[in-house]
Amino acid sequence: MISVADFNLTLNGKAILQQVSVAIEAGEVFVILGPNGAGKSSLLKVLAGEFEAYKPAVQFHQRPLSSYAPRELAQLRAVMPQAVHLDFPFLAEEVVSMAIPYVGKAEVNRRVDEALALFDVRHLAQRNYLTLSGGEQQRVQLARVLAQILTAAKQAEQTGGLPPLLLLDECTSSLDLAHQQQVFKVLRRLARAVKMAVVAVLHDLNLASHYADRALLLSEGKIVQQGPIHQVLTQSTIEAVYQTPVEIIERPDRYPVIVPL
Binding-site size for other proteins (CB under 8 A) equals 28
7-36 residues near other proteins, rule: CB under 8 A: none
Q: Does 99 bind other proteins (CB under 8 A)?
A: yes
**For residue 16, what are the β-bridge partners?**
none
- Cβ closer to other proteins: 145 or 194? 145
Q: How many CA atoms lie within 13 A of 183 on its CB side?
A: 27
Residue from 6, 14, 88, 249 touching other proteins (CB under 8 A): that is: 88
Q: Which of 3, 25, 35, 50 binds other proteins (CB under 8 A)?
A: 50
Alpha helices in 122-202 (DSSP H): 134-159, 177-194
Q: Is 220 in the site for other proteins (CB under 8 A)?
A: no
Q: What stretches of the chain adopt beta strand conformation (E)?
A: 2-11, 14-24, 29-33, 59-60, 63-64, 77-80, 165-169, 197-201, 214-219, 222-228, 246-251, 254-260
Could you tell me the smallest distance in angstroms from the CB atom of residue 88 to other proteins? 4
- Quick one: 165 or 241, whose CB is closer to other proteins? 165
Q: Which is nearer to other proteins, 81 or 163 (CB)?
A: 81
Our CB check for other proteins shows the closer of 196 and 233 to be 196
Q: How many CA atoms lie within 13 A of 175 on its CB side?
A: 23
Q: C-beta of 149: minimal distance to other proteins in Å?
A: 11
Spatial CB neighbours of 181, under 8 Å, sequence gap ≥ 6: 207, 210
Q: Which lies closer to other proteins via its Cβ, residue 148 or residue 225? A: 148
User: Is residue 1 classed as helix, strand or coil in its secondary structure?
Assistant: coil
Here the contacts of 224-227 (C-beta below 8 Å, separation 24 or greater) are 224/34, 226/22
Q: Which of residues 118-147 bind other proteins (CB under 8 A)?
A: 128, 130-131
- How distant, in Å, are the alpha carbons of 23, 79, 91, 182 from that of 62? 11, 20, 38, 32
Residue 196 per-residue DSSP state = -
* Residue 182 CB, nearest approach to other proteins (Å): 24
User: From the CB of 70, what's the least distance to other proteins, in Å?
Assistant: 5
CB-nearer residue toward other proteins: 149 or 156: 149
Footprint of other proteins (CB under 8 A): 48, 50, 70-71, 73-75, 78-79, 81, 84-91, 94-95, 98-99, 101-102, 128, 130-131, 148
